[in-house]
C-alpha cells in the first residue's frame, strides 16, 4: 500500500533522512522505532507531503505521491496524526473533529461518521461541547486520532501517540489502533520511542538511527534482537 525507496530528506544542510526504503502492506501495522532525532517525524512528514523529500520515491496505492500536496494526499486516503497531538485548544471537541472532515461537503456523511466515532470514543461524545484544551492528554490523543479518522483514511501515519501518557492510557490508545485495523482493515505506520508497546501491537517494525534504517523484521524478531533490547527496551520500565 505504501512503498518508500531510497528516500532522502534535508533541512538545508542537515541530512535528516538517508536513503530510507520501507513498505507497509494493506491491513498491516508497522512500527517505526528510533531515539530522539532519528528522523521519524521527518519521514512521516515527507510521506504526508508536509515536507518534500530531496530524493527517492514514495508510492501510495501504486501512485507516486512524492510531489503531491498534503490536501491531495489526505484525499487519496493517507492521514497523519501529528506529534504532540496538535488539537486546537480553544475550539470545541466537535469542531476539532469537523476540521478532519474539511474536504467532505456531504453533511449527512459527516454526521454519520461523527456518530460512529462517538460510539468508538464515548469520552469524546460526553465532552463534545467542551474546549479541547480542557481534555486530558489521553483524551486529546483520542481526539487527534478521531480527527484524522474523519477524513476516512485507508492508511494512518501515527506519530508517537503514547508520548507523555501513563502506560495504561498508552495501552488504551494502542487497543483502539488494533481495533481499527481489525474492524476496518485500516493500515497503520506507527512511530514510537516506546518500542515495547509499539511492537506489541505491530506486525513488523523498522529501527531508524540517525536517519537510516538500521534493522527491520517481524515484531518478534525485533523484540528478541539484542541491539534493540539494549537500545530501546533496557531502560524502559514496565510499559
Ligand atoms: N525544522 C527543522 N530544521 C532543521 N533541522 C531539523 C528540523 N526538524 C528536525 N530537524 C533535525 O532533523 C533530525 C530528525 O528530526 P526528527 O524530528 O525527524 O526526529 P524524530 O525521530 O521525530 O525525534 P523525536 O523522537 O524527538 O520526535 C534531527 O537531527 C533534527 O534536529
Ligand atoms: Mg518526532
Predicted confidence (pLDDT) per residue in 49-97, tens digit: 999 999 999 999 999 999 999 999 999 999 999 987 788 999 999 999 9
Question: Residue 110: how many CA atoms within 13 Å on its side-chain side?
Answer: 17
How many angstroms does the Cα of residue 158 sit away from the middle of ligand 2? 10
pLDDT at 237 over 50: no
pLDDT at 18 over 80: yes
Q: How confident is the model at residue 234 (pLDDT cuts 50, 70, 90)?
A: low
Asked whether the beta carbons of 98 and 130 are under 8 A apart, the reply is no
Q: For atom 27 of ligand 1, which residue has the closest CA?
A: 36
User: For residue 39, which atom of ligand 1 is closest to its CA?
Assistant: 18
DSSP structural state of residue 111? H
According to the model, what pLDDT value does residue 228 have? 86
Asked whether the beta carbons of 148 and 154 are under 8 A apart, the reply is no
pLDDT at 130 over 80: yes
Distance CA 150, CA 121 (A): 13
pLDDT at 235 over 70: no
Ligand number with the minimum distance to the CA of 16 = 1
The angle at the Cα of 82, spanning 179 to 120, to the nearest 5 degrees, equals 30
Radius of gyration, CA atoms only, the chain: 17
CATH top-level class of 2-88+153-232? alpha beta
Q: How confident is the model at residue 195 (pLDDT cuts 50, 70, 90)?
A: confident
> Which residue in 184, 177, 234 sits closest to 202, CA to CA?
177
According to the model, what pLDDT value does residue 52 have? 96
DSSP structural state of residue 213? E
User: Could you tell me the three cell numbers for 67?
Assistant: 510531489
User: For residue 41, which atom of ligand 1 is closest to its CA?
Assistant: 22
> Which residue in 56, 89, 45 sits closest to 191, CA to CA?
45
Residues β-bridged to residue 204: 30, 218
According to the model, what pLDDT value does residue 239 have? 42
Residue among 38, 194, 195 to mutate when testing ligand 1 (max atoms within 8 A of CB): 38
**CB 205: neighbour CB atoms within 10 A?**
27
pLDDT at 9 over 50: yes
> Which residue in 150, 170, 44, 46 sits closest to 102, CA to CA?
150
Q: How confident is the model at residue 119 (pLDDT cuts 50, 70, 90)?
A: very high
**CB 196: neighbour CB atoms within 10 A?**
18
206: left (phi over 0), alpha (psi -120 to 50) or beta: beta
According to the model, what pLDDT value does residue 114 have? 94
Q: How much of the chain, in percent, has pLDDT values that exceed 90? A: 79
User: Could you tell me the three cell numbers for 169?
Assistant: 492510557
Average pLDDT over residues 122-146: 95
Asked whether the beta carbons of 32 and 10 are under 8 A apart, the reply is no
Q: How confident is the model at residue 238 (pLDDT cuts 50, 70, 90)?
A: very low
According to the model, what pLDDT value does residue 93 have? 96
Q: How confident is the model at residue 134 (pLDDT cuts 50, 70, 90)?
A: very high
Q: Do strands 204-209 and 29-33 pair parallel, antiparallel, or not at all (unpaired)? A: parallel
Asked whether the beta carbons of 29 and 184 are under 8 A apart, the reply is no
Ion ligand 2: residues, Cβ under 5 Å: 40-41, 83
Mean pLDDT for the chain? Answer: 92
Task: Please list every protein residue whose CB sits less than 6 Å from any atom of ligand 1.
Answer: 11, 14, 16, 34, 36-42, 83, 193
Run of H or E including 27: none
According to the model, what pLDDT value does residue 188 have? 98
Asked whether the beta carbons of 124 and 152 are under 8 A apart, the reply is no
Amino acid at each position: 500500500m505504501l512503498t518508500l525507496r531510497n528516500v532522502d530528506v534535508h533541512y538545508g544542510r542537515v541530512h535528516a533522512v538517508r536513503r530510507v526504503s520501507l513498505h507497509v502492506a494493506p491491513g498491516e501495522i508497522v512500527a517505526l522505532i528510533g531515539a530522539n532525532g532519528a528522523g521519524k517525524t521527518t519521514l512521516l512528514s515527507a510521506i504526508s507531503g508536509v515536507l518534500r523529500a530531496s530524493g527517492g520515491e514514495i508510492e501510495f496505492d501504486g501512485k507516486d505521491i512524492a510531489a503531491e500536496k498534503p490536501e491531495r494526499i489526505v484525499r487519496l486516503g493517507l492521514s497523519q496524526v501529528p506529534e504532540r497531538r496538535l488539537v486546537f485548544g480553544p475550539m470545541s471537541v466537535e469542531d476539532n473533529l469537523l476540521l478532519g472532515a474539511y474536504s467532505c461537503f456531504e453533511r449527512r456523511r459527516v454526521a454519520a461518521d461523527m456518530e460512529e466515532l462517538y460510539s468508538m470514543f464515548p469520552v469524546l461524545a460526553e465532552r463534545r461541547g467542551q474546549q479541547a484544551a480542557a481534555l486530558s492528554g489521553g483524551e486529546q490523543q483520542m481526539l487527534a486520532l478521531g480527527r484524522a479518522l474523519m477524513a476516512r483514511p485507508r492508511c494512518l501515519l501515527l506519530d508517537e501517540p503514547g508520548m507523555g501518557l501513563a502506560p495504561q492510557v498508552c495501552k488504551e490508545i494502542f487497543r483502539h489502533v488494533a481495533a481499527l485495523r481489525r474492524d476496518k482493515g485500516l493500515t497503520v505506520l506507527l512511530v514510537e520511542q516506546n518500542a515495547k508497546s509499539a511492537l506489541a501491537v505491530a506486525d513488523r517494525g523498522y529501527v531508524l538511527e540517525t536517519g537510516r534504517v538500521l534493522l527491520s523484521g517481524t515484531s518478534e524478531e525485533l523484540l528478541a534482537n539484542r541491539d534493540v533490547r539494549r537500545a530501546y527496551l533496557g531502560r524502559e520500565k514496565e510499559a
